[in-house]
Amino acid sequence: MSTYANIDAFITKHLVLDLTADFDSRTLLGTAELMFERRDPGATEVVLDTRDLQVRKAEASSGGASWVDAAFRLDPATAAFGSALRVTVPRDADRLRITYASSPAAKGLQWLTPPQTSGKKLPFLFSQAQAIQARSFIPIQDTPAVRMTYDATIRVPKELVAVMAAEAAPGEKGSGVFHFRMPQPIPSYLIAIAIGDLTFQPMSDRTGVWAEPAAIAAAAKEFEDTEQMIKTTEALYGPYRWGRYDLLVLPPSFPFGGMENPRVTFATPTVIVGDKSLVALVAHELAHSWSGNLVTNATWQDFWLNEGFTTYLERRIVEAVYGKRLSDMERIIGLRDLAQARADLTVAGDRTLQPTLGDRDPDDAYSVVPYELGALFLSFLEDKFGRDTFDRFLRRWFDEHAFQSVTTAQFLEFLSKHLLSTRPGEVTEAQIQEWLHTESIPSFAVMPKSDALEKVEQARDAWLMSGSVEALALASAAWSTQEWVHFIDALPRKLDADRLSALDRRFKLTDSPNSEIAHVWFRLAIANRYTPAFPAMERYMIRIGRRKLIVPLYRDLALTADGKAMAKRIYAKAREGYHPVAQSTVDDLLN
């Protein structure tokens, strides 16, 4: 279950944080007060999740009027789950206050030096709690089965701004003290904080962008359709229930594309490419406001309920706002990512919608399988029952489970009752079971098709035949990111150096400012030892910390002895700029 918390005895209902961010010692320190609902009236021990926390004091209270010291101990840590904090409490206690400090190496925090930011002058801190890293900066019941509201006071150096994925109380500018309130109950993995030289630009009444001053204008332009996306999603799946929806653009070391922190999505700057071609990421994180944040996987084994639904919703939003041409391309690229993930995974069960996690950190089983296979499953249901019926079904699923954590078994029961039974025999139980347990794509899946990408393949074939980059230039004049990525990815893995350099000279691929295009180009360069691309690739791997973009490059390099030596040399320079979760992925790969 990925947690040590004894949630059968106590459930956290509300959390109060008072934390100081100390950039010199790289620690968050202060107090976390947890208010419980008792499930076991006789219980006298509360067990919380922690990882590398320095716990200084524990106090218990009933009602919060007076506090008494409570005895506590930390169990020996395990690599996967950290260490259980056991606090002995009186029989009437309903709250606990822990005084603690996080470790400078906290897995859920990344402390950036000024040179690692866009502005280069001030430091930056951001958190990433999913899946089970909230425990590395808060002693907490760190399981998505528990939902809590919270209040937070965050103290920072006066020149910095703190943003949490919560409602901000109007504070005094330059005071260094920020107050936040999260009125909707959320699971621990959605607690998030960023501190830096952050500025805000509104995009509509309820949307806006946070970023460093140097990045804000381009971000606001790239994401200007956000309000339209929200309206589109509301029309399909019901009201947006979180108040504001803002985006916070992080420095390039952010290890993910985006993180759906409620009210404030955290996003990588690598999707800001100038033509909105990668804003499916916003559609994705926004969709989590329904699938994931509103209706949440109760365990990490049910992760597909978050990500499969969200990937399906993402493509529907992209289709409604940008057209079917783009959403079809996204579906095909998703299929290709799925095939790649299935080939890369070493634990067979991880290729299914319901992996067995056992005593593994859920992050170790992470892949796009729950995203893409889950989305294919929902597309199959949509096809069988028709879009209108399926949309109403999904809306009802969100409405009836709003602010709840749910299991796959609950979804299957709901599916059977409210969709399958409306047309008995349309979908068989055997088909449902195959979707859940197959390691491949069921033969009866409805596969996407993209005319645009078929045209790209024709252009590829023509170029491979003729070698004419000018003909290719004509064919590709209006290509988006997706089409270029598909073109490069669909080239034979072995090409001679003349061809590669002709392509490079004409289309400036080595120096592409588009991180997705550069990524597939560098993979092709590695496969062919096309050395003119390597200096730019090295700079890319040092600057960017997004796992999806860097890990495949390390993996490709590690296939040969001299490639591996090069990977290690680059990593020696890049490592300190990576987030701890990216560090541990690359550490594993190169050792």
Partners of 548 in beta bridges: none
User: What is the H or E stretch that residue 182 is in?
Assistant: strand 177-187
Of 273-332, binders to Zn ion (CB under 5 A) are 307, 310
Gap between the Cα atoms of 175 and 155, Å rounded? 9
Nearest Cα to Cα of residue 242 among 289, 203, 190? 289
**Shortest Å distance, C-beta 368 to Zn ion:** 10
Tokens representing 271? 């999707």
Tokens representing 34? 């947890």
Toward Zn ion, which CB reaches closer, 268 or 310?
A: 310
Gap between the Cα atoms of 561 and 331, Å rounded? 36
Beta carbons of 311 and 291 less than 8 angstroms apart: no
The reply to whether 371 belongs to the active site is yes
Toward Zn ion, which CB reaches closer, 133 or 310?
A: 310
**Shortest Å distance, C-beta 286 to Zn ion:** 10
Gap between the Cα atoms of 121 and 349, Å rounded? 47
Give the neighbor-by-neighbor strand order of the sheet with 258-259.
199-202, 207-211, 245-249, 264-267, 258-259
Using CB under 5 A as the binding criterion, the count of chain residues that bind Zn ion stands at 2
**Shortest Å distance, C-beta 533 to Zn ion:** 31
DSSP string for 99-161:
EEE--TT-TTEEEE-GGGSSSSSS-EEEE--TTTTGGGTS-B--STT-EEEEEEEEE--TT-E
Gap between the Cα atoms of 557 and 449, Å rounded? 32
Q: Which string of x and - marks every residue 511-530 that binds Zn ion (by CB under 5 A)?
A: --------------------
Toward Zn ion, which CB reaches closer, 286 or 472?
A: 286
**Shortest Å distance, C-beta 416 to Zn ion:** 26
The reply to whether 59 belongs to the active site is no
**Shortest Å distance, C-beta 429 to Zn ion:** 29
**Shortest Å distance, C-beta 307 to Zn ion:** 5
Integer angstrom CA distances of residue 49 from 36, 52, 162: 15, 10, 25
Toward Zn ion, which CB reaches closer, 200 or 240?
A: 240
Partners of 218 in beta bridges: none
**Shortest Å distance, C-beta 266 to Zn ion:** 12
**Shortest Å distance, C-beta 288 to Zn ion:** 6
Of 110-129, binders to Zn ion (CB under 5 A) are none
The catalytic residue among 260, 285, 314, 516 is 285
Toward Zn ion, which CB reaches closer, 186 or 216?
A: 186
Tokens representing 453? 């990408």
The catalytic residue among 371, 554, 571, 578 is 371
Q: What is the identity of the amino acid at 392?
A: R
- Neighbouring C-beta atoms of residue 47, cutoff 10 Å: 18
Toward Zn ion, which CB reaches closer, 374 or 577?
A: 374
Gap between the Cα atoms of 576 and 404, Å rounded? 39
Q: Which string of x and - marks every residue 135-174 that binds Zn ion (by CB under 5 A)?
A: ----------------------------------------
Gap between the Cα atoms of 105 and 578, Å rounded? 12
Toward Zn ion, which CB reaches closer, 289 or 310?
A: 310
Pairing of strands 147-155, 10-22: parallel
**First-residue to last-residue Cα distance in the chain:** 28
Toward Zn ion, which CB reaches closer, 261 or 310?
A: 310
Residues that bind Zn ion (CB under 5 A): 307, 310
Residues recognised as catalytic: 285, 371
